Structure 1
Amino acid sequence: MCVSPPTYLTWAILSTLTGIFLLFHLWKFDRFKCLRWNNGPYSGAFKRVMTYTYLITIPLLMVYSIGMTIISYKMGYIALPGVGLMPLPVEFWPESYHRMFFPLNLVFAFAWSFEIITHLEELCFWLFLVHAGSVQQDWFRSFYFKIWSVGSIMAIVYMPVTTIVTRSNPIKNVAATFLAGSLSDLLLNVNNLTVLYKFPSFLRELKSEGVDISTIVRLTTFHELNHIRVLFRFLFTVPLLILGIDGITALKINTNMFASEFLAFLGGVGCMVSAGLTLVVFFPRSVTTEVKAKEITREKSLQHNASFRSSLRSEKDSYFGPTSPPPVVKGMCAELTRDSEPSFIKASTLADPEAQLKPVAFETFAPNRRLDSGATVEGGVRVIGLTEGNLARHNFQSTNVHPFVHNFTSPIDLMHGDSYQGIASYARRYKH
């Protein structure tokens, strides 16, 4: 099984573009803060595993595709009798390049195992969310989380092991890796069809339960993205499955240059597009929030510049402007005698001494502050703000929807905002 240099070049270009999009999106998302080990108070082991396994996948694909592109173009083609022009088989590569073939395939195997972990987590989470009607269910104690844990361990083991076991035969090595990965991903993708089928009724149920519209919009957006991702994942798995079966059984599809390149090209497009969409789902940007933040920053900057210019203008006026005479105090003017000697100020012209001793009433202002319950105190008056946290607490008390739905952001950000444990403890305090 020999993949042509143009096919590897296509994979290299697509993976590089996906890597550039990864950097751009994460910079716009939170300036790479999500890459930190301790990213906020809810950076648990689960979120770290999902973040790093997914983000490592794209660089590994770049290493594999770029490395194979360089080697395949240096090796070139060979004319085989009865077959025609074909890429030079791995068996005829020089020893220095032949030694690099297996490590690059192993890198691809690890990348695909991380991809399987990501796809399995999404499937298990959506199934959990669709079927979790009771607020007492916890994701980390659910049956779906256990399936993800076991499946992830199997994926991270059996994909590299498959590549290692078949390394003696280069054709079988690539075919076995394609076959093992595509079968697993295809099985997950078929199960994703059940999620797509049940999700519309799930959204209708959330609307009837009175879930806030922002959460409905986010879930609807993710549902539409899942349709596109499932399509491209089929484009990723089915072509590589055909190539893998052909490499194991020798169906002669790989000997057809057009067929092998077309299937490999479809697999690369499906892999990179689905990876990019997964990035958007795992790290969703809120353009509305970003625009509002920019406007607030711009207004603050304009106000600061205006106040700075005003202060400079007032200082300039105080130095170079004409001085005004001191204000005349009513009833305290001094009278001069005819011989130009100053006389004493009469006591009758002074203000009432008792009035001067009266305390002056000053208006006091209490600072605005936020209470632990989410309410705000403005001017000494308690104001209940309709924040997302307050709305989530209200929905938790009044609906049977799982707490993960309220304030939902992404399948891996399960502890965002009010966590399950946080809402549950709030409910217990509320009852008492």
Structure 2
Amino acid sequence: MAHMSPAVTLVWAALTTMFEVFLVYHLWSFDRFKSLRWNHGPRSGTFKRVMTYSYLTSIPLITIYAVGFSIIKYNNGFTVIPGMGITPTPYELWSDSAQSAILPLYLCYSFAWALEVVTHLEELCFWFFLIRSGSAKQDWFRSLYFKIWAIGSIVAIICMPLITVFTREDPYKCEAYTLLAGGLGSLSLTIWFLPILWTFPKFLQSLKKADVDTNTIVRLTKFHELNCIRVLFRFLFTIPLVILGIDGVRPHQHINDNMFATDLLGMISGIGCVVSSGITLIIFFPRSIKAEMASREAARELRRFPRSNAFGKDPMNMQRIYQHVSSNKLPPYEVVAPSHSTQKIPFEEMSDEENQKYWPSEMSPSLCMQPNRRMKDGNVEMGTVFTLTDDNLPKRSKVMRKSDINHLVYNWRSPLGRDSY
């Protein structure tokens, strides 16, 4: 943004700062920042950490870039140049401290763009893998698409900063080549998303024919609609920057010498960047208002009726029930109060480690779990693990073998969901 007007940098700074505020609010409402922890449950592997921190690191870097140039631009203002009129003060007339900040700010921008490529390349490769997977047992981490994502991410992280460093002698050329390289990379990924958007309705229809549950269909339909909007704004983000980059590397600039055209393209790009990033945030960290309300209500009821003092002298002997559930290694679903009370007393949730210990991922197909049930007389029937009969077990196994739907379809919540991969 060395040659753009202060208004463009101010728009970028204002939009990215407001998005940072929305990011903090959304993550707090999502899970009180628990998803940002390094060890967030047993499924916080290397892949999830890379995806989480690459996305969340790119946003502050863009904010630093925009706010930094906005401060520099407004401190230097405009200058009258003979033959050109009133223009933003050229960088040659900036103070030494302002000129020394150009390269670090451009490096922030190039690193942020490289991390963004990592994020969107993973989404692109994953959905190509899922739509084209011909077997329910295909592994994402051993697929060709995962290798493409890994190689492409390494290339992006290495090449983007190197382009900025190698062209640092001329800030105008540095900006032009950075915009051109990052813009072409992001634009190509956005174009490759179009086949996914085109085939996704057919993919949903195939899931319906396979009798996939309604919740999964609804979840994927919501993702498809959000992704359509995001792709539109990503075009608004990348195309203007590609135009400015192509014009900037040419010997004679026609667009970059026109303040109106430069500012218009820069502002459109800023709006596209922030809106598409906001939709990415919603996709990566999808909030469930219903689940949040239920969780708050459960916590409120637990504070009102703690297990040790619930209903006076504990007429249901809830402590004994809780110990019985724990000793039998059954997940505590819910204990309901006597029939004269309408309150529900939720047990404490098990940790992820306990769930993994008590319910291993590879269970015998003959075992099924039954949760606690409230009977009509107000009593509680304890949950248990039971074995399918010899007649039903072959039928269940036959249905499972026939399914060609990859298990990731059922488990997918977001690119960062703990059960997604």
TM-score tier (shorter): 0.7 to 0.9
Following TM superposition, by how much is the alpha carbon of 1:301 offset from its aligned partner in structure 2, in angstroms? 3.9
- Are the equivalent residues in 2 in contact too, given 1:246–1:254 (CA < 8 A)? yes
Q: 1:285 to 1:189 in 2, by over 3 A?
A: same
Please report how far the alpha carbon of residue 137 of structure 1 lies from its aligned counterpart in structure 2 after TM superposition: 1.1
CA–CA separation in structure 1 for the residues paired with 2:34 and 2:211 = 33
Q: C-alpha offsets along residues 190-213 of structure 1, whole Å, 9 cap, x if unaligned? A: 100000001000011111111111
Deviation at 1:276, TM superposition (A): 1.1
| Residues 144 and 73 (structure 1), Cα distance of their counterparts in 2 relative to 1, 3 Å cut | same
Q: Is the 8 A contact 2:176 2:249 kept in 1?
A: yes
Q: Distance in 1 between matches of 2:401 and 2:56?
A: 37
1:395 Cα deviation from its structure 2 partner: 7.8
Alignment-mate amino acid for residue 27 of structure 1: W
Structure 1 partner of 2:403: 399
The equivalent of 2:347 in structure 1 is none
**Residues 210 and 65 of structure 1: CA distance in aligned 2, closer, same or farther (over 3 Å):** same
Over the residues paired in the alignment, what is the CA RMSD in angstroms? 2.6
Cα deviation per residue 1:44-78 (whole Å; 9 max; x = unaligned)? 11110010000001110111111111111111111
Partner of 2:286: 284
The secondary structure found in structure 2 opposite 1:291 is: helix
Tell me if the contact between 1:80 and 1:86 (Cα under 8 Å) persists in the aligned partners. yes
Instruction: Give how far 1:29 is off.
Output: 1.2
Judge conservation of contact 1:5–1:72 (CA < 8 Å) in 2: yes
Unmatched 5+ residue regions in structure 1? 313-363, 386-391, 420-432
Query: In structure 2, what is the equivalent of residue 83 of structure 1?
Result: 84
Instruction: State the partner residue of 1:320.
Output: none
Name the aligned partner's letter for residue 376 of structure 1: Q
Q: CA deviation at 1:97?
A: 1.1
Q: How many residues align?
A: 358
Q: Secondary structure at the match of 2:87?
A: strand
Q: Structure 2: which amino acid aligns with 1:254?
A: N
Whether the aligned pair in 1 keeps the contact of 2:79 and 2:88 (CA below 8 Å) is yes
Judged with a 3 Å threshold, the aligned counterparts in structure 2 of structure 1 residues 139 and 395 are, in CA distance, closer, same or farther, namely: farther
The CA deviation at 1:91 is 1.9
Q: Aligned pair 1:410/2:411, yes or no? A: no
Alignment pair present for 1:118 and 2:112? no
Alpha-carbon offset, residue 251 of structure 1:
2.8
Contact in 1 for aligned 2:176/2:246 (Cα 8 Å):
yes
Letter in 1 for 2:14: I
Between the aligned partners of 1:227 and 1:395, the Cα distance in structure 2 is: 34
SS of aligned partner of 1:78:
strand
Identity %: 47
1:17-416 alignment runs, 5 A limit: 17-249=18-250, 250-303=252-305, 367-368=324-325, 369-370=330-331, 372=359, 373=367, 375-376=369-370, 378=372, 379=381, 382=384, 396-397=400-401, 399-413=403-417, 415-416=418-419
Tell me the amino acid that sits aligned with residue 269 of structure 2.
G
How far has the Cα of 1:83 moved from its partner? 2.3
Structure ID, larger Rg: 1
Amino acid at match of 2:230: R
* Matches of 1:8 and 1:85, distance apart in 2: 18
Residue number in structure 1 paired with 2:355: none
Question: In the alignment, is the contact (CA less than 8 A) between 1:159 and 1:180 conserved in 2?
Answer: yes
* C-alpha contact (below 8 Å) 2:369/2:383 kept by paired residues: no
C-alpha separation between the residues in 2 aligned to 1:173 and 1:147?
28
What one-letter code is carried by the residue in structure 2 that aligns with 1:260? T
1:116 is aligned with what amino acid? Answer: V
Q: Extract unaligned runs of 5+ from structure 2.
A: 314-319, 332-357, 360-366, 373-380, 388-395
Q: What is the CA distance between 1:407 and its match in structure 2? A: 2.2
The alpha-carbon deviation at position 304 of structure 1 amounts to: 5.5
1:382/1:94 CA distance change after superposition, 3 Å:
closer
TM-score norm. by structure 2 comes to 0.79
Q: Distance in 2 between matches of 1:138 and 1:62?
A: 37
